[in-house]
């Protein structure tokens, strides 16, 4: 190295082990440009990691739960079962999209007396909600006042 040049070494420890980056200053060259390059590289790596996280978050599509309910005792069903079931499922992440409103057959048999359409973050969360102790306790009561047919459909990944 010449008398007018300097050598600087930065040391970084991290997830990938120990990295040593050397900066050499030649006459008329700025060390600041090397720092800018290093910062740009680290920012690029951070953005890349964030993009990968985002793609992983989108990996599981939403799940739609369809409930066909043939209610035999409307008053008892509404008073004893519905509040318990709604509470248990809402705590499990359920978002109701439609419940009990007007239905019509487009093709095939007409729907049962009550239809509920719900969405969950993914199939696993939907299945966990309907097998939770809270919901199963409510379901024991619901089975006294209605015949329920409940199934889940994996949705199309949302963009």
89-112: per-residue pLDDT in tens? Answer: 999 999 999 998 788 889 998 887
Judgement on whether residues 79 and 145 belong to the same structural domain of the protein: yes
Give me the number of domains the chain comprises: 2
On whether residue 159 sits in a domain, the answer given is no
Judgement on whether residues 49 and 71 belong to the same structural domain of the protein: no
Domain termination site, one of 57, 76, 95: 57
Q: Identify how many contiguous H helices and E strands the chain contains and give both numbers.
A: 5, 6
3-state secondary structure of 17: strand
Contact 94, 118 (CB under 8 A): yes
* pLDDT score for 39: 77
* pLDDT score for 105: 87
Mean pLDDT over residues 43-54, rounded?
Answer: 72
Judgement on whether residues 76 and 118 belong to the same structural domain of the protein: yes
- Whether 9 has a pLDDT exceeding 70, the answer reads no
Per the DSSP assignment, residues forming a β-bridge with 22 are 9
Contact 122, 63 (CB under 8 A): yes
- Whether 124 has a pLDDT exceeding 60, the answer reads yes
Judgement on whether residues 14 and 45 belong to the same structural domain of the protein: yes
- Whether 73 has a pLDDT exceeding 70, the answer reads yes
Judgement on whether residues 94 and 133 belong to the same structural domain of the protein: yes
Mean pLDDT over residues 29-52, rounded?
Answer: 70
Judgement on whether residues 70 and 126 belong to the same structural domain of the protein: yes
Give the CATH number, domain containing residue 88: 3.30.70.100
Domain termination site, one of 20, 40, 57: 57
- Whether 8 has a pLDDT exceeding 60, the answer reads no
Would the pTM of this model clear 0.75, i.e. be above it?
Answer: no
Cβ within 8 Å of residue 123, ≥6 positions away? 60, 61, 63, 152, 154
On whether residue 67 sits in a domain, the answer given is yes
Using the structure block, give the residue that is written with the tokens 């409930």. 67
pLDDT digits 0-9 by tens, 79-92:
999 999 999 999 99
Judgement on whether residues 37 and 113 belong to the same structural domain of the protein: no
Nearest to 147 by CA among 72, 37, 78: 72
On whether residue 1 sits in a domain, the answer given is no
Per the structure, the complete domain to which residue 139 belongs is given by: 63-154
* pLDDT score for 78: 93
């Amino acid at each position: 190295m010449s008398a007018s040049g300097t050598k600087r070494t930065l040391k970084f420890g991290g997830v990938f082990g120990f990295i040593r980056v050397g900066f050499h200053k030649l006459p008329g060259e700025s060390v600041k440009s090397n720092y800018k390059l290093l910062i740009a590289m680290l920012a690029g790596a951070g953005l890349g990691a964030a993009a990968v996280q985002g793609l992983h978050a989108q990996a599981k599509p939403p799940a739609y739960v369809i409930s066909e309910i043939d209610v035999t005792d409307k008053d008892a069903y509404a008073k004893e079962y519905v509040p318990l079931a709604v509470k248990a499922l809402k705590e499990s992440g359920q978002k109701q999209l439609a419940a009990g409103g007007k239905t019509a057959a487009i093709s095939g048999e007409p729907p049962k007396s009550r239809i509920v359409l719900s969405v969950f973050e993914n199939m696993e969360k939907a299945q966990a909600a309907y097998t939770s102790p809270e919901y199963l306790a409510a379901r024991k009561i619901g089975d006294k006042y209605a015949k329920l047919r409940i199934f889940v459909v994996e949705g199309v990944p949302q963009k």
